[in-house]
Amino acid sequence: MIGIFDSGIGGLTVVKEVLRQLPEYQFLYLGDTARTPYGNRSQDLIYQFMVGIVDYLFKAGCELIIVACNTASAQALRKIQQEWLPKHYPSATAVAGQANSGQRPSKRVLGVIRPVAEEAVKLSRSGRIGVVGTRSTINSGAYRREIEQLNPEIKVFQQACPLLVPLIEEGWLKRPETIKILRYYLRSLKQQKIDTLILGCTHYPILFKEFQQISGRQVKVLDSAKIIVEKLVDYLKRHPEIESKLTKGKQHRYLVTDLTDKFQENAQNWLGQKIKLEKISLD
Ligand code: DGL
């Protein structure tokens, strides 16, 4: 099974693409709605949250987890991949103590920063890329690091947009206040003459048209969810040993750590179909 993790239900923007591009695979979604938003939290706390969730999803039968949440990917993914995973889910050969087993864990956790950074680097003509995200994602510098690693010549301009998640969750999509705030956030990026814009937050694709309109025609706004799933399709082709372990079927489940009418309403609006959120406890 594929696990899809987000700090809340914004990750359903990624689920929508999984349903479109990988319709035959069964997935288990987990939104940490009891502790959302992660966007202004510290790295230590986000790491602790993520360990509990990743472990839960593996124990529930997931072989591969997509961390749809940009904030969690930016703040905690590397440590999970490099330290926690090899220790808790070592490869069979490593368990058997075989020499040369390598450090590859038996299960995988993939994030959203690297695939979108790769696409941005590929597409940018002027070498000036803008990134918007939560305060935590922007402060981590994760997108900048990935982009500069791929091409040190590229200039990255970042803007934290902490007001956007609450506005989107309130459904204030077409309100003049939201458009005004969006204009304000994009002003400095436009002044920097970026030609590519990364929407580094699960929620922002819900305002995709507005981002594109305000950024102008000379800026290519990247559809992160689409890119992430395209890269996942490619990853599964290159890793048949993981792909062959994934179950197929349509019995998807949508788990949350807290359930309210508002979460249920937003979930259905954002996914564009009727779904049932199930409340679970992580302990
Ligand atoms: N899911 C988060 C992200 O993509 C946004 C919501 C939050 O702050 O938790 O960064």
201 in active site = yes
* Number of domains forming the structure of the chain: 2
Domain limit, last residue, from 208, 223, 238 = 223
**pLDDT > 90: percent of the chain:** 94
**For a pocket test of ligand 1, which of 77, 202, 206, 263 has the largest count of ligand atoms closer than 8 A to its C-beta?**
202
pLDDT at residue 176 greater than cutoff 90: yes
Q: What is the token pair recorded at 142?
A: 């994760």
Per-residue pLDDT tens digits for 179-202: 999 999 999 999 999 999 999 999
| Average confidence score pLDDT of the chain | 95
Q: What spacing in Å lies between the alpha carbon of 73 and ligand 1's midpoint? A: 10
- CA–CA gap between residue 112 and residue 68 (Å, rounded): 6
Q: Which residues pair with 254 in a beta bridge?
A: 29, 277
Distances from the Cα of 117 to the Cαs of 17, 63, 214, in angstroms? 18, 25, 22
Q: How many Å is the Cα radius of gyration of the chain? A: 19
Model confidence at 95, in pLDDT bands (50, 70, 90)?
Answer: low
CB atoms within 10 A of CB 208: 16
* Total count of residues recorded for the chain: 283
Residue 56 counted as an annotated binding residue: no
DSSP label at 32?
-
Domain that holds residue 13: 2-111+226-279
pLDDT at residue 98 greater than cutoff 60: no
The CATH number assigned to the domain holding 13 equals 3.40.50.1860
Q: What spacing in Å lies between the alpha carbon of 202 and ligand 1's midpoint? A: 6
**pLDDT > 70: percent of the chain:** 96
pLDDT at 99: 46
Per-residue pLDDT tens digits for 99-138: 444 567 889 999 999 999 999 999 999 999 999 999 999 9
pLDDT at 144: 98
Q: What spacing in Å lies between the alpha carbon of 94 and ligand 1's midpoint? A: 35
Domain limit, last residue, from 182, 202, 223 = 223
